[in-house]
Amino acid sequence: MSTIVKVKTGSKLEEIASYSRAVMVDNWIYVSNTAGRNPVTQEIPEDILEQTQQVFDNIERALAAVDATLADVVMSRVFIQNPADTHNVMQFIGTKFRGINPATTVTNPPLGSAEYKVEIEVTAYRGAASAQVEEILISV
């Protein structure tokens, strides 16, 4: 039988919309689309890279709750409000995922609030950080 762990942050939206910040099924971890709201101050930085850093802080906190890290991430989905911000945000994300190299989707849809400039969702596999990795280059 599978074990399911649901991570809650206590946010009002999680309660209203009836969802979890992260759900772990066995070693698979699904982290909900995450915005850059500071969980203590409830503030969202105006600067997009500061928002992106806060998004990662929030994701890392959720992963840590189930004994995982960014190094366990195998898939990320990045939602950037303004297409003009894509290059800078992805360059920043590259610093976070350097050497991890998850599969990634990047898109520019409207987000849930105008104050959100970036949101990220990840899928992780607990233990991926210590797994043997084989890279295959299919083009040059």
Closest among 54, 47, 37 to 82, alpha carbons compared: 47
* Between 51 and 40, residue with greater pLDDT: 51
What's the whole-model pTM score?
0.94
Check: CB of residue 104 under 8 Å from CB of residue 78: yes
Check: CB of residue 74 under 8 Å from CB of residue 128: yes
In a domain, 137, yes or no: no
What is the predicted pLDDT for the residue at 1? 80
Two tokens, residue 109: 């849809």
In terms of DSSP bridges, do strands 73-80 and 103-107 run parallel, antiparallel, or are they unpaired?
parallel
In a domain, 135, yes or no: no
Q: What is the pLDDT of residues 55-86, one digit of tens each?
A: 999 999 999 999 999 999 999 999 999 999 99
CATH number assigned to the domain comprising residue 123: 3.30.1330.40
| Rounded mean pLDDT, 11-15 | 87
Number of domains present in the structure of the chain:
1
Share the mean pLDDT of the chain.
95
What is the predicted pLDDT for the residue at 139? 85
What is the predicted pLDDT for the residue at 13? 85
Q: Which domain holds residue 86?
A: 4-130
